[in-house]
Structure 1
Amino acid sequence: MNNRENTMAVLTYRDYTRIPVVSFGYWAETVMKWADEGHIGREEAINYVEAGDNSEGDKAIMKKLGFDFNWNSCFSSEVLLFPPFEEKILEEFPDGSRIIRDGQGLICKVKPGTVSIPAEIGTSMTDRKAWEELYLPKLQMSRDRIDFKRLEELKQEPEREIPLGLHLGSFMGNMRNMLGVEQLSYLYVDDEDLYREIVDTLCGLGYACAKEVLETGVKFDYAHFWEDICFKNGPLISPDVFREFVGPWYKKITDLTSSYGIEIVSVDCDGMIDSLIPIWLENGVNTMFPIEVGTWNASIAPWREKYGKQLRGVGGMNKTIFARDREAVDQEIERLKPLMALGGYIPCPDHRIAPDAKFELVQYYCEKMQKAVR
């Protein structure tokens, strides 16, 4: 069995020969550091930084480390503002920091040398007039949103070695990226009709794109949503609001993917997601990715105990051990073994591997995991 066959067998509780050892990429600073240290070629690092996951650079780095493949192997349509706003500098300060309007209309403060998420300080979506004039025209369905040439190439590819996902987009996550957390919270109270209209527009666009893609006949192994609407203590929005406004759209879209034979539907949502899990499960999502063990000890084990085999997972490998030593790696692998034995679960370093990671420890992890998963 190849990596694709083993992956789908694990997640659907069928017999498999081994659990793939998967990655989810690296920070740009990580691969450039590894290049400076001589572990990988500078051209490989630059190619990864410029081309991203599953690029030639990524494949070369994974081969040297010992990963089987990068989990982020999805075909995506343009389900954001199309075209996006032109990024614009609104104000500059003596220390080099700037206030900008980004591609989604969010007003942010960007500090030089800072690689974390910029500080949100406002949004261009100030009222219904701004929505109708600036945003709504950029959220209309168009076949230009879909790379049909790439889809035709996928149809012609021979039997794939790794699973192929269909990225379904984001509903509340994209809305948050346009409004910011504060305005997103106020809008539900200030103008519920506009709130619902924005949700329905984003969800309807996601559904339309998914339908167009699936009708081409390309066979996908799984479907995937992205949200990122939680923080360390729970969701940024009320679960009841999420269930009412977004739940039915999830169900409509997962019914569509199911009609095309897609059994696995995952969602990527950072933060403590526990109170949203039952809503996703009710509406056709059955796989959580990632599982943020390094931040607050999240694990598939209590979720599996609560929801049974309906819930699968990818992630939950504590990448912080890559900054420590071999003993820490050994302990982490021992912790993962009983979780893998549950079935329906594939370990993966949570998010991108950070710059404090030691190349030789990631290599050691892969080597040990290749033996542990057989």
Structure 2
Amino acid sequence: MLTKRQNLLETIHGGNPDRFVNQYEFLHILMSDPYNLTDPFPEYGQKNIVNAWGVTLSWPEGTPGAFPVHDAGHKVLEDIGEWRERVKAPNLIFSDAEWEEAVREAESVDRNELFLAPFIAPGIFERLHYLMGMEDALINFYEEPEEMKELIKYLTEWELQYAETLCSRLHPDALFHHDDWGSQISTFISPDMFEEFLLDSYKEIYGYYKSHGVQLIVHHSDSYAATLVPFMIEMGVDIWQGVMTENNITELIRKYGGQISFMGGINSASVDHPGWTREEVKTQVTRACREYGKYYYIPSASQGLPMSTFEGVYEALTEEIAAAGKEMF
């Protein structure tokens, strides 16, 4: 029987997997680095927590995650022209003692079985709308492109500093990086605009990780982003996590399998809701596994962490994926 790591590699390289890769089983996602530990973040049900960037976040009950608050008085950036005065990147200098917990956790991971993956969220696009609101961010791409490019450069340089500290301290061999690039029906910006504003930043960020021992880039975007897959490949993404059914996953695998793999295929909203049933979980898992097949595909909910909003859903998905693997392999 292959290890979880071996089975993942066989799956994404079109080899001989002996079962489905089961959701996040191949990743040890590390969140104990000192920046993550000290950056304030709301717990489920908490409101108006201010993070290290000055962004106010709330996590309302019954929702899958926290989101920034942009009502009057809560935006960090009202005018893009003032970003140099208003946006202050957090400090990334921490003592050896502050790194001890993360180093111990990293050293405890069996790298023969699992990939060690630091967790980065939000990404460049999300950071922009966290700071100024979605509407202002989208308008500023059109009306203030040079200011947006300068702000993106500033955010990219901070991410590269973060990458340097993570790689030098923890020696990860994977990365789990969030940045939602679309809604359920479309990307937030056109492919041409994505290429102009964001592609080079991600090539630089993911290129740094790849040149410093990271073998596996897992990018989360639980959205429509099929038109951005060529750019994902160009920037070095190995697995697109969160891919929703609206992306025509069968066609993506046919067209791009071997260059990138797809993790998802089970929209969280279809199974992770009040009153969920085991039968609908089984139905969605069986459909996805049969429709998308054994290669370049990892069955998973679109949720961006190994968890569910409603108790028991993630575990039920795991059990049904294991059962589907026994039947189909």
TM-score (norm 2): 0.76
SS at match of 2:103: helix
Q: Which residue of 2 aligns with 1:21?
A: 22
- Provide the identity percentage: 17
1:127 CA displacement: 2.7
State the alpha-carbon separation in 2 of the partners of residues 83 and 356 from structure 1: 26
State the alpha-carbon separation in 2 of the partners of residues 145 and 242 from structure 1: 38
SS at match of 1:348: strand
SS at match of 1:204: helix
Amino acid at match of 1:6: N
Distance 1:230 1:359, change over 3 A: closer
State the alpha-carbon separation in 2 of the partners of residues 301 and 263 from structure 1: 25
Residue 274 (1) aligns with residue 204 (2) = no
Distance 1:163 1:271, change over 3 A: same
Q: Which residue of 1 aligns with 2:128?
A: 175
1:260 CA displacement: 3.2
Q: Which residue of 2 aligns with 1:254?
A: 206
Amino acid at match of 1:368: A
Distance 1:359 1:114, change over 3 A: closer
Amino acid at match of 1:148: W
Q: Which residue of 2 aligns with 1:245?
A: 197
Q: Which residue of 1 aligns with 2:108?
A: 157
Unpaired stretches in structure 2, ≥5 consecutive residues: none
Spell out the pairing of 1:176-215 with structure 2 (5 A cutoff). Answer: 176-215=129-168
State the alpha-carbon separation in 2 of the partners of residues 250 and 113 from structure 1: 33
1:19 CA displacement: 2.9
- Is residue 218–residue 237 contact of structure 2 (8 Å, CA) maintained in 1? yes
SS at match of 2:237: coil
SS at match of 1:231: coil
Greater C-alpha radius of gyration: 1
SS at match of 1:8: helix
- Is residue 79–residue 206 contact of structure 1 (8 Å, CA) maintained in 2? no
State the alpha-carbon separation in 2 of the partners of residues 270 and 71 from structure 1: 18
- Is residue 257–residue 296 contact of structure 2 (8 Å, CA) maintained in 1? no
Q: After superposition, what is the alpha-carbon deviation per residue over 1:16-49, rounded to whole angstroms, capped at 9, x for unaligned?
A: 43333235xxxxxxxxxxxxxxxxxxxxxxxxxx
Distance 1:78 1:190, change over 3 A: farther
Distance 1:327 1:276, change over 3 A: closer
Q: After superposition, what is the alpha-carbon deviation per residue over 1:61-105, rounded to whole angstroms, capped at 9, x for unaligned?
A: xxxxxxxx385724575779x866x99xxxxxxxxxx99584354
Distance 1:22 1:243, change over 3 A: same
Q: Which residue of 2 aligns with 1:340?
A: 293
Distance 1:367 1:266, change over 3 A: closer
1:206 CA displacement: 0.9
Spell out the pairing of 1:1-374 with structure 2 (5 A cutoff). Answer: 1-22=2-23, 69=25, 73-75=29-31, 102-103=50-51, 104-106=53-55, 115=63, 120-121=70-71, 123-127=75-79, 130-136=82-88, 138-139=89-90, 141-143=92-94, 148-154=99-105, 156-157=107-108, 159-160=110-111, 161-169=113-121, 170-216=123-169, 218-220=171-173, 222-293=174-245, 296=246, 298-318=247-267, 320-321=270-271, 323-324=276-277, 326=279, 329-330=282-283, 332-337=285-290, 339-341=292-294, 343-351=295-303, 352-355=307-310, 362=317, 365-366=320-321, 368-372=323-327, 374=329
Distance 1:129 1:253, change over 3 A: closer
1:216 CA displacement: 3.5
Distance 1:188 1:101, change over 3 A: farther
1:112 CA displacement: 7.5
- Is residue 317–residue 336 contact of structure 1 (8 Å, CA) maintained in 2? no
SS at match of 2:218: strand
- Is residue 77–residue 209 contact of structure 1 (8 Å, CA) maintained in 2? no
Amino acid at match of 1:231: S
Amino acid at match of 2:223: G
Unpaired stretches in structure 1, ≥5 consecutive residues: 24-68, 88-97
Distance 1:146 1:301, change over 3 A: farther
State the alpha-carbon separation in 2 of the partners of residues 83 and 355 from structure 1: 25
SS at match of 2:243: coil
Q: Which shows bigger deviation, 241-250 or 69-78? A: 69-78
- Is residue 78–residue 145 contact of structure 1 (8 Å, CA) maintained in 2? no
SS at match of 2:217: strand
RMSD over aligned CA atoms reads: 3.9
Distance 1:75 1:14, change over 3 A: farther
Q: Which residue of 2 aligns with 1:95?
A: none
Q: Which residue of 2 aligns with 1:62?
A: none
Distance 1:304 1:340, change over 3 A: same
- Is residue 249–residue 265 contact of structure 2 (8 Å, CA) maintained in 1? yes
1:339 CA displacement: 2.2
1:192 CA displacement: 2.8
TM-score (norm 1): 0.68
